[in-house]
Amino acid sequence: MIRVGIGTDIHRLEKGRPLFLGGMSLPWEKGLVGHSDGDCLIHALIDALLGAAGAGDIGRHFPDTDPAYQGIQSAILLKRIRENILAEDSVIHNVDAVITAEQPRLAAYIPAMESRLAEILEIPSSRINIKAKTNEGIGALGRGEAIAAFVVVLLQIPSCSSE
């Protein structure tokens, strides 16, 4: 069975915090605020995978009220989803993502982010496509107060015998 999942996430930026995006630490004066490391791209990817699998959302699996997830690397959470939630014979056909950020400019980091996510998901990097956009100075994203991510996933899962 082929299923589509969509995920979105947004986190505000704060000076003096490290910036994690796509499972990587990026050099920037501000970082994303969150219970975990705030990696909105991975959070949106997790929600897309969970949606395609019919398994809820990131908050159900990793609640921000649980101190076990305080400061955790989002890459670890994504790996847990891949290992424990998705069926062993699930196939991630593709991941398509958009990151909206006024700053920093992300184009130079996209190939490394695609490779990092492919490594975590154990799929070829050719199945991952990330695009970076600005918000043209509009709203909190455009003022550089936050970064948002939007992800769509095409997932093949084993069919249930009752379907």
Strands 128-133 and 91-100: parallel
Supply the DSSP symbol for 82.
Answer: I
* pLDDT the model gives residue 161: 47
How many other CB atoms sit within 10 Å of the CB of residue 19? Answer: 20
- The model carries a pTM of 0.95
Say how far apart CA 45 and CA 97 lie, in whole Å.
8
Instruction: Tell me the pLDDT of the chain (163 aa) as tens digits.
Output: 999 999 999 999 999 999 999 999 999 999 999 999 999 999 999 999 999 999 999 999 999 999 999 999 999 999 999 998 887 889 999 999 999 999 999 999 999 999 999 999 999 999 999 999 999 999 999 999 999 999 999 999 987 644 4
Give yes or no for a contact between 12 and 145, defined as CB atoms under 8 angstroms apart: yes
* pLDDT the model gives residue 86: 85
Instruction: Kindly calculate the radius of gyration of the chain based on its CA atoms and give it in whole angstroms.
Output: 15
Give yes or no for a contact between 99 and 134, defined as CB atoms under 8 angstroms apart: no
Domains observed in the chain: 2-156 (3.30.1330.50)
Say how far apart CA 37 and CA 50 lie, in whole Å.
20
- On the question of a cis peptide bond just before residue 18, with omega within 30 degrees of 0, the verdict is no
* pLDDT the model gives residue 162: 47
